[in-house]
Amino acid sequence: MSDSTLRSFRYGDELIRFRVRAHAGRTAQRIAIHVEPEGGILVDAPAQATDAAILAAVRRRAAWISRHIADSRQRMAQVLPREHVSGESLLYLGRRYQLKVVIDAEGPVTARMRGGYIAVRTAQGEPALIRSALDAWYATRAREVLAARMASLAASLKWVRTPPPLRLQPMKRQWGSCSPTGRLTLNPHLVKAPRECIDYVIVHELCHLKEHNHGPRFHRLLEVKMPGWRAVKERLDALAEQILRT
Ligand SMILES: [Zn+2]
């Protein structure tokens, strides 16, 4: 058995990564696909299997793989709850900040950013209190940042006459959507992602105001308005698990 190599393929909007382990000799007669408990995809293949054959085998089972990745993400989210103690790492606009819990018997529960910290003041160190203070802080930041980016990006696109109605809705598997009537929904967790990733999601959804599907015209439009969007999307995909595990 040689070391595994990392490969990937696209399935709809998803980038699915998988590792291939080549087996010499009689151990593997055919290509076998496993989903590991943490959601990793491992492909055991006979040493003589070509890259194309492996890719074809994985693509054939793409729907099944995608479903299992989603399931294991959900399981992981349940088994690894956030602890909300000082020192915990928090993401905001793609940067890491440390959570600092300050116990303060007086005064209201507050959360604010100070230098490299996001400081939460509470009367007790109860995780639920800290959690709700953090949620409120993130929600406020998300409203401000996402609305501002949306206004600015919408103004730069000819086909958007007025910024569309914007709704923020926490979602497990989606960054945003655009309704047939032109209402945009964004995942507030996006505020944890780097600015260019936020812009990518917003430009993607604004392009849907003109092209309602993911056909070639949509992708041409996106390419013109945001050259290099694929790399940005991959950056966001790579962060998804961390960002959405809250
Ligand atoms: Zn889309």
SS3 sequence of 135-150: HHHHHHHHHHHHHHHH
Is the entire prediction scored with pTM above 0.95? no
Paired residues of 42 in beta bridges: 19, 34
- How far apart are the CA of 173 and the centre of ligand 1, in A? 13
- How far apart are the CA of 114 and the centre of ligand 1, in A? 36
- How far apart are the CA of 199 and the centre of ligand 1, in A? 14
- How far apart are the CA of 194 and the centre of ligand 1, in A? 19
Contacts of 154-161 with C-beta under 8 Å, sequence gap 24+, read 154/206, 157/203, 157/206, 157/225, 159/209, 159/210, 160/206, 160/209
- How far apart are the CA of 49 and the centre of ligand 1, in A? 35
Quote the pLDDT of residue 1: 40
- How far apart are the CA of 53 and the centre of ligand 1, in A? 30
- How far apart are the CA of 22 and the centre of ligand 1, in A? 36
Q: Does domain 89-244 have CATH number 3.40.50.150?
A: no
Quote the pLDDT of residue 2: 42
Quote the pLDDT of residue 36: 79
- How far apart are the CA of 204 and the centre of ligand 1, in A? 6
Quote the pLDDT of residue 158: 94
- How far apart are the CA of 148 and the centre of ligand 1, in A? 21
- How far apart are the CA of 167 and the centre of ligand 1, in A? 16
Quote the pLDDT of residue 191: 97
- The closest alpha carbon to 129, from 113, 105, 109, belongs to 109
Going residue by residue through the chain (246 aa), what tens digit of pLDDT does each one get? 445 778 889 888 788 999 998 887 656 678 889 887 777 898 989 988 899 999 999 999 999 999 888 887 777 665 544 566 777 889 999 999 999 988 888 878 899 998 889 999 988 878 888 889 999 999 999 999 999 999 999 999 999 998 899 999 998 889 999 998 999 999 999 999 999 999 999 999 999 999 999 999 999 999 999 999 999 999 999 999 888 875
Residue 125 tokens read as 């160190």
Measure the CA–CA gap between 217 and 13, rounded to whole angstroms.
Answer: 16
**Helix, strand or coil for residue 206?**
helix
- How far apart are the CA of 102 and the centre of ligand 1, in A? 42
Residue 42 tokens read as 């491992």
- How far apart are the CA of 212 and the centre of ligand 1, in A? 8
Residues of the chain with CATH 3.30.2010.10: 89-244
- How far apart are the CA of 178 and the centre of ligand 1, in A? 8
Residue 184 tokens read as 């945009």
- How far apart are the CA of 145 and the centre of ligand 1, in A? 21
Quote the pLDDT of residue 35: 82
Quote the pLDDT of residue 83: 61
